[in-house]
Amino acid sequence: MRLDKFLCDALGATRKEATKLLKSGEVSVDGIVQKSGAVKVTDKSCVEWQDREIAMPGPRYIMLYKPEGFVCSHEDGFNHTAFVLLDEVKMEELHFAGRLDVDTTGLVLITDDGKWSHRITSPKHKCEKTYYVWLADPVNDDYAERFKQGIELRNEREATLPAELDIITEKEVRLTIHEGKYHQVKRMFAALGNKVEALHRERIGDIILDEELEPGEYRYLTEEEIASVWK
């Protein structure tokens, strides 16, 4: 790869900015100052700027604690997009591996690796998602069984896949589903005549929302978390 392209990719710089950096004489490759963008670098080259090594960024995998009031899309005419919570370059390359409604809080995964996110969102892989749910009305005795059997949603041909309901209190439950239809959790409870008052996603597959994160904060996933998606 050309050195100027490397600087653009690694630093999120424009071609013009990369040329300026090179002209400043502060960029070196394997200890030798280079001023030409045409110099070739490989993944073994040590590229330094102001004596600090610049790493070529790999794919990004992010866990965000989405607060209420933010949408999971790049643009929205009304609400803030959750991307404003990230301090990242090349934001346009990032996408959500599964969305949450504007009023839902909790775990969202963000990446620029389409194959990885497909593994989470594709119905074929039935990735588990766990939600903590606050309900308007008390749960009935038959709820757990009805979730297990699958629930018929309005405007859907097939019933939902079996889901696991864990009753915490009469109006608070933990629900694990294996698909991600539009507004699925709210529609499942609506089909039983109840209403979701608040919804919080705790887990996607083996990735659990980090307790250290406050709403609006994010961190990069660990190697283990990234790999867990391929299991």
Which of 183, 195, 206, 220 contacts ligand URA by CB under 6 A?
A: 183
**CB distance 172 to 132 below 8 Å:** yes
Residue type, 162: P
Question: If DSSP codes are grouped into helix, strand and coil, which group holds residue 17?
Answer: helix
Q: How many residues bind ligand URA (CB under 6 A)?
A: 8
Q: Which is nearer to ligand URA, 21 or 100 (CB)?
A: 100
Residues 43-102 within binding reach of ligand URA (CB under 6 A) = 100-101
Q: Which is nearer to ligand URA, 8 or 185 (CB)?
A: 185
Of 45-53, 89-97, 181-189, 204-212, the window that binds ligand URA (rule: CB under 6 A) is 181-189
Compute CA 102 distance to the chain's CA centroid, rounded to the nearest angstrom.
15
Which of 111, 117, 160, 184 contacts ligand URA by CB under 6 A?
A: 184
Q: Which of 4, 43, 76, 101 is catalytic?
A: 101
Residues 92-111 within binding reach of ligand URA (CB under 6 A) = 100-101, 104
Residue 139 DSSP class: P
Which of 133, 153, 185, 229 contacts ligand URA by CB under 6 A?
A: 185
Close Cβ partners of 175 (under 8 Å, ≥ 6 residues apart): 130, 131, 133, 147, 163, 164, 165, 166, 185, 188
Q: Which is nearer to ligand URA, 7 or 100 (CB)?
A: 100
Q: How far is the CB of 46 from ligand URA (least distance, A)?
A: 45
Q: Which is nearer to ligand URA, 21 or 66 (CB)?
A: 66
**CA 53/CA 22 separation, integer angstroms:** 15
Q: Which helix (H) or strand (E) holds 107?
A: strand 105-111
Q: How far is the CB of 115 from ligand URA (least distance, A)?
A: 23
**CB distance 170 to 133 below 8 Å:** no
Residue type, 4: D
Half-sphere exposure of 210 (CA within 13 A, CB side): 16
Active-site residue flag, 9 = no
Q: How far is the CB of 147 from ligand URA (least distance, A)?
A: 13
Q: Does 202 bind ligand URA (CB under 6 A)?
A: no
Which of 199, 204, 207, 209 contacts ligand URA by CB under 6 A?
A: 199
Which residue is listed with tokens 């404003």? Answer: 84
Close Cβ partners of 110 (under 8 Å, ≥ 6 residues apart): 60, 61, 62, 63, 64, 82, 86, 94, 95, 96, 97, 218
Annotated active-site positions, please? Answer: 101
> Which residues here bind ligand URA, judged by CB under 6 A?
100-101, 104, 183-186, 199
